[in-house]
A = this chain, B = another copy of it.
Amino acid sequence: MKKGRFEAFSDGMFAIIITIMVLDIKAPHGNTFKDLLTQLPTIFCYLQSFWFVANYWSNHHHLVHCVEKVTGSILVANLNLLFFLSLIPFVTGWVSESNFAPEPVIVYAIALLIPGFAWTILQKIIEKHNPWTEKMKIAMKRQEMKAYISIVLYAAAIPVALFNTYISEALFVVVALVWVFPDKRIEEALSGV
């Protein structure tokens, strides 16, 4: 029951964060295809942030699945994660309005890095009170590797942005692809829970 409301609230915030970004896509000023082309960077940024938040939602789903009792610390760590995720639409808007200028892209890379730390805190707290099965541990190990790759790529995107922000953007896309398909091993491990 308590967990139900915890999930419902989180799902609500995930859904709103993901959808709010559409509001940043303004209708083009002219009425031609050419005018629409000017909106393409915005749509690309939205697509990227959409998958970023969607990946967090899908992993959140798996992580919370193992939780048996929602304690005060889990609540706070979860809100901490949601707070940093809720800043993504704002940073996405800046990147697209600046047309991929170096400094907004650097801030975007940082904004993508921070939820990773918030996630780690949430995971550690959940792990402490909800011991994982052996299977789950192995699955989580693989996920941790994905997480390390993401951190390295996001961090690399920061200096790269000073020379060419498109390469930075390409790195973000790579990370998104790494995460798109939820790990089968986690699904298997969870089905045993």
Contact = CB atoms under 8 A, between A and B. Distances in A.
A127 interface: no
A25 B92 CA distance: 12
Nearest to A98: B31
B181 A76 contact: yes
Contact of A187 (B54, B71, B101, B182): B71
A162 to B, nearest CB: 12
A184 B72 contact: yes
A29 to B, nearest CB: 9
Nearest to A8: B11
A75 to B, nearest CB: 6
A89 B22 contact: yes
Contacts of A112: none
Contact of A83 (B15, B47, B58, B73): B47
- Sorting the interface of chain A by its residue count into under 10, 10 to 19, 20 to 34 or 35 or more gives 35 or more
A31 B107 CA distance: 11
A188 to B, nearest CB: 11
A20 B23 contact: yes
A132 interface: no
Interface string A19-39: 110110111100111001000
18 contacts: A6-B61, A9-B11, A9-B15, A11-B12, A12-B16, A13-B18, A19-B86, A22-B90, A27-B94, A31-B98, A31-B101, A36-B94, A36-B103, A36-B107, A43-B87, A50-B83, A58-B72, A72-B184
Closest 4 CB pairs of A and B: A12-B15, A31-B101, A72-B182, A27-B94
